[in-house]
Amino acid sequence: MKNSIKTVLLTILLTAYGYAFSQKANKTETITIQTSAQCDMCKHTIEKAMAYEKGVKKSTLDVPTSILTVEYNPAKTTPEKIRKAVSDVGYDADDVPANPTAYEKLNPCCKKGAHK
């Protein structure tokens, strides 16, 4: 009887430990980035770039505020890499300015001031 209680306790302990470990491996962090996006086309361009970005799980750009919310795996990427990916498609990302070459290629309606 005593031994079976020990077995049960050990099983519970190992299950809890395994669960904690798997949670750590699947860790997701979220960042918000202020971008220079202005319309649905910008949203599409940035979210598409995020879909191809390594370590990014989900991204949503809110057009009215131009804020990009990104869920990512911190073991695979960093906020710096994510901001650079946004810059590389032609948009400012917080203090990282848009890549000038990519910005020049943007549709005219997506350039700064086009909607003001």
**Which residue ranges make up the site for Cu ion (CB under 5 A)?**
38-39, 41-42, 110
Residue nearer to Cu ion on the CB measure, 40 or 80: 40
Minimum CB–partner distance for residue 102 and Cu ion (Å):
13
Answer whether 37's CB lies under 8 Å from 92's CB. Answer: no
The nearest distance, CB 101 to Cu ion, in angstroms, is 17
Residue number with CB closer to Cu ion (72 or 103): 103
Q: Which two tokens stand for residue 24?
A: 């750590």
User: Considering the complex, what minimum distance in angstroms separates the CB of residue 38 from Cu ion?
Assistant: 5
Nearer to Cu ion, 35 or 38 (CB): 38
Assess contact for 70 and 58: CB atoms under 8 A.
yes
Residue with tokens 């990302």: 93
Structure tokens belonging to residue 106: 């943007």
Q: Which residue is nearest to Cu ion (CB)?
A: 110
- Distance in angstroms (rounded) separating the CA atoms of residues 90 and 105: 8
